[in-house]
Amino acid sequence: MIEDLTVSHGAIKAIDAISFSVAKGTLAAVIGSNGAGKTTLMRTLSGLKDASSGRATWMDHNLLHGKPEHHVRNGVSHVSEGKSVIAQLTVEENLDLGALWRRDRNEAKSTKDEVFQLFPRLEERRTQLADTLSGGERQMLAIGRAYMSRPQLLLLDEPSLGLAPLVVEQIFQSIRTIVDTMGVTVVLVEQNAMGALKVADYGVVLNLGVVAARGKASDLIADPAVRAAYLGY
């Protein structure tokens, strides 16, 4: 639930009074071209950046107050742009990192098994340095790491960046699985608008910091204006 959210870089408003809301247990895609304010939105929601005004809440939790680690502990995980893994740690260490703050070790272990189920490739490479992974594997690891904290809301920033189309497809499918089978709500930020809208339930189109369009993903795909401006045909 986001209302009138405004975020500035110095004098420049990166996001100007945007509002939209996402239903629980659905996948929402936020699309828009470079500089539309997508990443700023994500960083604000996860606590990495301060908002100038407005409100952003998830259930009862105020997303504009507190540091990222605070949000994580309240069920909001963020996978930042550009394969957010730590290259110097092993695959398993990266995953463990996501659950370090959790008290219940057994539950953390079972979560790890879930991740390995979702991404079997990670289990094969559990002792390797994250540095040695391919781009797609890194993205899986990043999502897996975020999932390790058992989030209710998962914020994904451009998971498709720099990946081959086939791999993108696979990642999007996994995200869908996370939403469908595990009941996690996902906000997916994407430049790859078509791919994102195809798997999403709901879509928001950002343009230069303001909401240009929003609605059911299938409706947006059908909307000629959106098609022309963002989907490229």
Q: Which residues make up the interface to another protein (CB under 8 A)? A: 9-12, 46, 48, 67-69, 72-73, 77-80, 84-89, 93, 96-98, 100-101, 129, 131, 145-146, 148-149
Least separation, in Å, of the C-beta of 99 and another protein? Answer: 8
Smallest gap, in angstroms, from Cβ of residue 142 to another protein? 9
Phi and psi, residue 48, nearest 5°: -80, -25
Residue 213 CB, nearest approach to another protein (Å): 28
- Cβ of residue 227: shortest distance to another protein, in angstroms? 33
Q: Which is nearer to another protein, 89 or 194 (CB)?
A: 89
By beta-carbon proximity to another protein, the closer residue of 136 and 144 is 144
Cβ distance to another protein smaller for residue 99 or 213: 99
Taking residue 109's Cβ as centre, other Cβ atoms within 10 Å add up to 11
Nearest residue (CB) to another protein, 8 versus 218: 8
Cβ distance 195 to 170 under 8 Å? no
In whole angstroms, the minimum distance from the beta carbon of 105 to another protein comes to 9
Angle at 180 between CA 174 and CA 183, to 5 degrees: 110
Choose between 71 and 214: whose C-beta lies nearer to another protein. Answer: 71
